[in-house]
Structure 1
Amino acid sequence: MAGDLTIGIDDVVALEGFFGLATGPAEGADPSWRPFHQFTGAPLDQRIDQVAEQLGGVPRRIAGSLLSLSVSARITALVLGTGALYRTVPRLHDRLHWRPWSGGPAPMWIERPEAVPHDDDLPAAAARELDATLRPVLDAVGAQASVSSQVTWGNVASSLGGALRMLLTQRPDSSSEALALAVGMTEEPPLAGLGGFVHEPSHPTGVGFARRTCCLFYRVPGGGTCGDCVLGR
């Protein structure tokens, strides 16, 4: 399936939070929008330093990891939401834009939402789009903040778990499709081996995630281990 995805994206964007996305040509009048794959170099260094300062002066490695987790959550939410609700994959790797921000979810914009052509293997197609979209940025985080790829891609896997629980909470009608897609994506590279879904009776959805790496949040003053952290087990 391929082609215009405006209606589908609008439905996903209505979930808000990390599913949020600006669409349409009007946003193009804002000169601060930049291609997402160019979130590297000086702009990335500046944002890492901002995060480090906001977290009490933590080392750049910790700030870089947590920034990659936040940014990844924006991408995984869009891919999972569109896949679960419309059985297609949004074309993000060469269409998505970002602009500088000081806090909260990273602002994202696509002028015209489109779907990626794919065969019947939706999880593999979704994982490939995650890889193509996030790899330039995660590689830059690794190089500029000395964060290992195991940590940054583990953050992507963790963000997929968070996106699934948000989707199951807001759209329980999509539960079987969303869970099957999320599980399938964790079995595909680059997420294979980085974590998996588990039963979590304490959460309203009954779904939890167990990652095999750590995002380093425990090293933030006053922080601790996240619910899915390998250190918590």
Structure 2
Amino acid sequence: MDKINIIMQYMPRILSGAWLTLAVALLSFALSFALGLLGANMRLSKNKLINGIATAYSTIVRGVPDLVWMFLIYYGLQYWLNDFAEAYNYETIEISPFMAGVFTIAFIFGAYFTETFRGAMLAIPSGQMEAGYAYGMSAWQVLKRITFPLLMRFALPGVKNNWLVLTKTTALVSIVGLDDVTRLAQLAGSKEQMSFMFNLVSALLFLLLTTVSLVVFRKLERQYARGVREVRYES
């Protein structure tokens, strides 16, 4: 009972860390989603230079561990900015741990979304868009009514998987001093010598986020699957 009381004393602060974790996840997701759409279009470009840049980005980013990217962008970039400011007598430029975490995670998962959206774009039948133009739709109408719904129908499983992995990757921001749920739970556990219990609380909060996310994606899958007939094969 004493352990539960101790945990409850820390819960308001841990929950504030959970909200911060959610904010990092949502902002990172939005940026990586947009970056993925851009990267996928570049990957499908007939211009060899544009295609090569996107291919290199996707390949290199996915081939380096996430933790290494966090160190490179937060610590490495900070050193470079300090050297630059000192060389040109500028004020010291400080990188916010929050923004560093958001942009690093978005940079990493933009590469994964690039491949997710590229595969989805390749799966869209070209005749669907041609039919839209034949009916007199504008390019925006074709994108809104045909291309994007079909893109999401094919991409949604990959988007869901990327989101679930991204939410767990947010734990990396704790290494740059951001008071997310992982860091606050670890600090409280160390202080009270209850590391297992506090880390379990952190794990349960992540599990709650995952559960809610799965419910949301299930509804999205039903929405984008409207009008699609399920073909059943009798054995």
Q: Quick check: TM above 0.5?
A: no
Structure 2 length as normaliser, TM-score?
A: 0.30
Task: Tell me which of the two structures has the higher relative contact order, counting C-alpha pairs closer than 8 angstroms and 6 or more residues apart.
Answer: 2
Structure 1 length as normaliser, TM-score?
A: 0.31
Q: Which is higher, the Rg of structure 1 or of structure 2?
A: 2
